[in-house]
Structure 1
Amino acid sequence: MKFLVKIFLILFVFSGLAHAKQCIFEELDGYDNSQKFDLENYNKLVKKNTRIDVNKHGNKVENQPLGNGEYRQFITILDTPYLVEKRYDANGSLYSFSRHIHDMEFGKSKSYDKKTGTLTIYDMDKDYKFSLCDLIKKMESEYSINIEDKHTLYKLSRIIDEEKSNRPIYSVVVHVNPNPNIPIFEFKVDGTTGEILKIGYGDYGLDNVVEASP
């Protein structure tokens, strides 16, 4: 099995030329509490029996009523695993903002309290000196794997290894290629140094993952 892992890794590395790139999320819209929920447009969508729209950038915008006049938006960034979540109060004002890649929240999530005028910032990356952008560039340059491609990234998560002094770890699960019949790979990466700790492969449930050297 280890031999098969190495063969697949060779295919990864030589499957295409790695290229310098900006991380897509660096270009995502930031938090601006002057933003307003477009209730008029939402009502037009409801009349069409949908709550889903496409914005000027081609990104899918899903609108959800939360009750008490509040709304939530999920904005899926075109052809990527990125998603932006926004929440608006009963007056249509933006009060909460967060960014996600697949199911993993990252960056600075922000929440605005209109009553006190307080903006609270939650740094989701504070325990990870090896940043998400560092991880994206490492996977691209060393393995020719673009984890900003929604067809490549299967799952991305952060883990705290309590047995190793609470070491932060990324778990990166990717498709070998878009063919669903081919196994997926898991890379475990040190969230402080960027060291590859483990590479394994298995089925979609990651059963029988085996250790392998990079």
Structure 2
Amino acid sequence: MKIHIIILALLLNVSNCVGQIKEKHNSTIKKDTIMETFDISKYKNLAINPKTGLYILPNGDEVQYFTGSGGIGFVERTKIKNSAYCIVKVFFQNNILQAKGDEFYGFPIGIHNEYDEKGNLIKEINYDKEYKFSVDDLVKKMKEKYNYDLMNVEKTYNLNRYVDLEKTKLPLYEVYYRDDKNALILHSYVINGNTGEILFNTLRSTQGKQGSLYDVFIKSFKEKK
């Protein structure tokens, strides 16, 4: 069974989070107080990228905001320039920061923090706990081995990770990278999230139904045993 952890589910309904959660003692909370607030007025003078529809920050990053779950509070997503990283922040109805964390191709990475309405840090979730081979390690490996630039979101068709509890008992990455000559062809990989070993690779297409890469990998995985 694959475990896909969705960042917005975490941030919009933190009480239902999964992962490693560490409650902070009162003495620690006092040292980790933050009063970051949401200011909608900062968007008034920002230009909009006509291609993405996002606001352009002075440093080149692009940002968007929308109302939170049930129309309560705000969610702000900042896409880092020339990369696949995104910073996600959720704010209470009173505009105080409620939660903050990073994403890479839409999945949560690193430490995600939750705050109370006074700005006190109350929870931490470590989304990298199950992955000894980090996202940075993956980016470096694919660049050195195949000259793939995983920060290029035009060339990287898709990238995700999950913990396979049913078959391999391993954390896994899936990488889909467009061919240089034919953008409809995808160089597809399943990679061990602990060691970085490439467990399976094949060519797939962006067209038609082919079944999941995971299923094809598992069939090959069983045959090797």
TM-score, normalised by the number of residues in structure 2: 0.68
Q: Report deviation, 1:91.
A: 2.5
Deviations 1:50-79 (A, max 9, x none): x942112111111112233x1111111123
How many residues are aligned here?
A: 177
Match of 1:207 in 2: 210
Residues 192 and 64 of structure 1, relative CA distance in 2, 3 Å threshold: same
Which residue of 182, 185, 188 maps to 1:186? 188
Which residue in the other structure is 1:196 paired with?
A: 198
Unpaired stretches in structure 2, ≥5 consecutive residues: 1-31, 221-225
Please list every run of 5 or more consecutive structure 1 residues that lacks an aligned counterpart in the other structure.
1-30
Instruction: Name the SS of the counterpart of 1:33 in structure 2.
Output: coil
Distance 1:91 1:180 in 2: 46
Find the aligned partners of 1:161 and 1:189 in 2 and give their Cα distance.
Answer: 12
Cα separation, partners in 2 of 1:178 and 1:52, compared to 1, 3 Å? farther
Query: Which residue of 1 is the match for residue 163 of structure 2?
Result: 160
1:88 pairs with 2:91: yes
Q: How does 1:58-69 map to 2 (within 5 A)?
A: 58-66=60-68, 67-68=71-72
CA distance in 2 between partners of 1:131 and 1:56 (Å) = 30
> 1:74: which partner in 2?
77
Matched residue, 2:127: 124
Partner of 2:36: 35
CA shift digits 1:157-183 (9 cap, x unpaired): 1132334452111111111238534x0
Q: 1:178 to 1:99 in 2, by over 3 A?
A: farther
Structure 1 residues 198 and 98, CA, compared in 2 at 3 Å: closer, same or farther? Answer: same
| 3-state SS of paired residue (1:134) | helix
CA–CA distance in structure 1, aligned partners of residues 164 and 139 of structure 2: 21
> Which residue number corresponds to residue 114 of structure 2?
111
Contact 1:33–1:95 (Cα < 8 Å) also in 2: no
Question: SS at 2:138's partner residue?
Answer: helix
Give the superposition deviation at 1:193: 1.1
| Contact 2:132/2:195, CA 8 A, preserved across alignment | yes
User: Which letter does structure 1 place at the counterpart of 2:176?
Assistant: V
The answer on whether the counterparts of 2:161 and 2:171 sit within 8 Å (CA) in structure 1 is yes
Whole-angstrom CA distance in 1 between matches of 2:143 and 2:64: 30
Q: Which residue of 2 aligns with 1:23?
A: none
CA RMSD of aligned residues (A): 3.0
Partner of 2:25: none
CA gap 1:35/1:187 in 2 versus in 1, 3 angstroms? same
Contact 1:131 1:191 in 2 (8 A): yes
Aligned to 2:21: none
- Give 1:86 shift: 0.8
**Letter paired with 1:143:** Y
The structural deviation recorded for 1:117 is 3.1
Contact 1:64 1:72 in 2 (8 A): yes
Contact 1:33 1:93 in 2 (8 A): no
The residue identity in structure 1 corresponding to 2:58 is K
TM value normalised by structure 1? 0.71
